[in-house]
A and B are shown apart, each in its own frame.
Chain A
Amino acid sequence: QQQVKQSPQSLIVQKGGIPIINCAYENTAFDYFPWYQQFPGKGPALLIAIRPDVSEKKEGRFTISFNKSAKQFSLHIMDSQPGDSATYFCAAGRTGGGNKLTFGTGTQLKVEL
């Protein structure tokens, strides 16, 4: 069963555009929601993360919006650059119990000049 649903599967935007990737979760016990960025041939790396006590978190050009009642969260990339072209994974986890993460299926983002 897929506990974290991610969309879209792929996304193409122009340089300077604002790609938005959405995720929805089912398990209300989740209390940690990170986004990972993965470049070809590399492992995923943490980009930004949020906990459910806040509705938004910004780090540089990356913003997470969190809607606890809807059980949804999204990643916005402001002023996107070709270097942002990568695969993005949302994830959800529960602190404790092994800190395991359940990942979404990924979004391939391409930022064109």
Chain B
Amino acid sequence: NAGVTQTPKFRVLKTGQSMTLLCAQDMNHEYMYWYRQDPGMGLRLIHYSVGEGTTAKGEVPDGYNVSRLKKQNFLLGLESAAPSQTSVYFCASNRGNTGELFFGEGSRLTVL
């Protein structure tokens, strides 16, 4: 049982480049989330989804877009990467009836 899988695990981008992070979960969870983790700032919610075809903004959505075309996948896109987006990105999922979030192992992104 893989749980929540994130790809890629590491990526280096140049300023202005675009990329997509993929999150896949095999637990049939309704809700999915993208957080970013920065030193001294904890985890901050970027976007989330409460079901297939839905997305909503979190605390720090600017510069990111998301899509949830299939229930098991949640994509995070950066259209024009900036150095301020250098971070570790975590995807999480939730069954929808409890508060527990299940996290992936993270994707470390560096923007030069």
Contacts of B50 in A (CB 8 A): 98
Q: Interface size for chain B: under 10, 10 to 19, 20 to 34, or 35 or more residues?
A: 20 to 34
Q: Is A99 an interface residue (CB 8 A)?
A: yes
Quick check: is A14 within 8 A (CB to CB) of the other chain? no
- Chain B residues within 8 Å of A93, by CB: 99
A49 interfacial by beta-carbon distance below 8 Å: yes
In chain B, positions 89-112 with a C-beta closer than 8 Å to chain A are 90, 92, 94, 96, 98-101, 103-106
Q: What residues of chain B have their CB less than 8 Å away from a CB belonging to chain A?
A: 4, 31, 33, 35, 40-45, 48, 50, 56, 58-59, 90, 92, 94, 96, 98-101, 103-106
Listed by A's residue number, 21 A-B pairs whose Cβ atoms lie within 8 Å are A4-B42, A34-B100, A42-B106, A43-B4, A43-B92, A43-B105, A44-B90, A46-B101, A49-B99, A93-B99, A95-B99, A98-B56, A99-B94, A99-B96, A99-B101, A101-B45, A101-B101, A103-B42, A103-B44, A105-B41, A105-B42
